[in-house]
Amino acid sequence: MFYDYLKVYVRAGDGGNGCVAFRREKYVPFGGPSGGDGGRGGDVILRADAGLRTLVDFHYKSHFKAGRGDHGEGKGRHGKSGADLVLRVPVGTVVRDAATGEVLADLVTDGDEVVVARGGRGGRGNARFATPTERAPRFAEKGEPGEERWLELELKLLADAGLVGLPNAGKSTILSRVSAARPKIADYPFTTLEPCLGVVRVEEGESFVLADLPGLIEGAHAGAGLGHKFLRHVERTRLLIHVLDAAGTGGRDPVADFAAVNRELVLYSAELAGRPQVVAANKMDLPESRANLERLRAALQGYEIFPVSAVTGEGLNRLISRVAALLRELPAPQVDYPSGRMVTGIAPLRVRREAGVFIVEDGAVERRVAMTDLDNPEAVRRLRQYFERAGVTAALRAAGVKPGDTVRIGREEFVYQPEET
């Protein structure tokens, strides 16, 4: 089974908690705080690997979690950072956020990688909060939760040229004759159930990758047949080889077939349909093909037509030589998506009201709350001071909050009580 689209859940590791500890040594009076920091949580990283061909590994396991950071300890000992989790995907994988549809990365080169979930920061131990006025802090930070999200992984094969056409036009036979690929070949529609790649060697030191796709039928763009599922795999090609049954087997008209397939390409993607095309008039070993060839040349003016026979090999060398020459001239496809480490924009602090609850939306504020030990009065006092400095209190007042109202920040809920003056 060829897997080229899957959803996976990833979660980065949580940061370790900071430690509350004090030095207690016989000859060290007022030893002071000595709690160490927690370790950072591991990231989840996707890395392109040229040795993979499908996303089948993610079919059997779809939930992944990186290692969490260890907690800090006394005597200033910091926790160990959690291990990163590196997931290998095929070259040509497009990574999207499943919730928003945002494209996070397009991994088109072997070794490309992207951090799709960042590990949480380790909480600071109480030794980090000692000041001249607060020499014995009795609180520490909790570890920051790691990021989590659902991802869509979509594989688009990287091929230089693609074979398109109706079922049984002879695409798979052509691929088997010009490359070492061995797709299944039989005399019935939809023999090809999944894309197949072959490396075509032109001459010493020169080759190109050719993709054979399941046949297109009328209505493919709307879900009919099999070809619509795999049209994504010719989106990156620079050239299309349109294979026609020139013999008109089964009473078909090759001119009408050419128009039908191109219509499906336009309906799927106008940009894809605009790619350069050469026409391979196949089955020239059959007598009916000669008469149809003249009709094709008259009807498809402006297209280069190559009479070929996938069975006997007639005309294939000339077709491949021309395709190779065109590929030398055509530019490489442009990648418009980011590749590498993700950059997250900073959204302004926002307060909205929903079902009587005031919801504060701000990434930094939510992280601060998540890292605060809400059972520790000193930590809560420090959090209130942070709310004042960060403008959270002012934003809540501007939104109309009153004493006794419920305020939600991240996963925590509070009852609003203004600080007594």
| C-alpha pair distances (Å), 205 with each of 208, 356, 405 | 10, 70, 73
238: Cβ contacts below 8 Å, ≥ 6 apart: 160, 161, 275, 276, 327, 330, 331, 332, 333
288: Cβ contacts below 8 Å, ≥ 6 apart: 246, 247, 248
* 214 labeled part of a ligand binding site: yes
DSSP symbols for 223-289: T-TTHHHHGGGGTT-SEEEEEEETT-GGG--HHHHHHHHHHHHHHH-HHHHTS-EEEEEE-TTSTHH
* 191 labeled part of a ligand binding site: yes
* 165 labeled part of a ligand binding site: yes
* 356 labeled part of a ligand binding site: no
Lowest mean pLDDT among 297-301, 346-350, 360-364, 401-405: 346-350
* Reported CATH class of domain 161-329: alpha beta
Lowest mean pLDDT among 70-84, 121-135, 220-234: 220-234
The alpha carbon of 296 is separated from its chain's Cα centroid by a whole number of angstroms, namely: 42
* 284 labeled part of a ligand binding site: yes
Q: Name the residue ranges covered by the structural domains of the chain.
A: 5-155, 161-329, 350-415
Whether 148 has a pLDDT exceeding 70, the answer reads yes
3-state helix, strand, coil in the chain (%, to 5): 25, 25, 50
Whether 188 has a pLDDT exceeding 50, the answer reads no
DSSP symbols for 286-299: STHHHHHHHHHHHH
* 311 labeled part of a ligand binding site: yes
* 170 labeled part of a ligand binding site: yes
Query: How does strand 113-117 pair with strand 44-49?
Result: antiparallel
Percent of the chain with pLDDT strictly greater than 90: 48
Q: What is the pLDDT of residue 184?
A: 53
* 7 labeled part of a ligand binding site: no
* 282 labeled part of a ligand binding site: yes
Whether 230 has a pLDDT exceeding 70, the answer reads no
Mean per-residue pLDDT over the chain, rounded: 85
pLDDT, one tens digit per residue, over 189-203 is 444 446 777 788 887
* 193 labeled part of a ligand binding site: yes
* 285 labeled part of a ligand binding site: yes
* 292 labeled part of a ligand binding site: no
Output the 3-class SS for 81-133.
Answer: CCCCEEEEEECCEEEEECCCCCEEEEECCCCCEEEEECCCCCCCCHHHHCCCC
* 1 labeled part of a ligand binding site: no
Find, among 320, 225, 221, 319, the residue nearest to 272 by Cα: 221
Q: What is the pLDDT of residue 166?
A: 84
Q: Report the topology of domain 5-155.
A: Spo0b-associated Gtp-binding Protein; Chain: A, (2.70.210)
Give the burial class of 130: count Cβ atoms within 10 A of its Cβ; 0-12 exposed, 13-18 middle, 19 or more buried.
middle
Q: How confident is the model at residue 181 (pLDDT cuts 50, 70, 90)?
A: low
* For residues 13-19, average pLDDT: 96
Q: What is the pLDDT of residue 220?
A: 45
Whether 225 has a pLDDT exceeding 50, the answer reads no
- Given the structure tokens 């790691």, which residue do they identify? 146
* 167 labeled part of a ligand binding site: yes
Q: What is the pLDDT of residue 87?
A: 95
Whether 183 has a pLDDT exceeding 80, the answer reads no
pTM higher than the cut 0.75:
no
Number of H helices and E strands in the chain, helices first, is 10, 18
Q: Which CATH code fits 350-415? A: 3.30.300.350
Q: What is the pLDDT of residue 57?
A: 86
Rounded distance between C-alpha atoms, residue 380 and residue 369, angstroms? 9
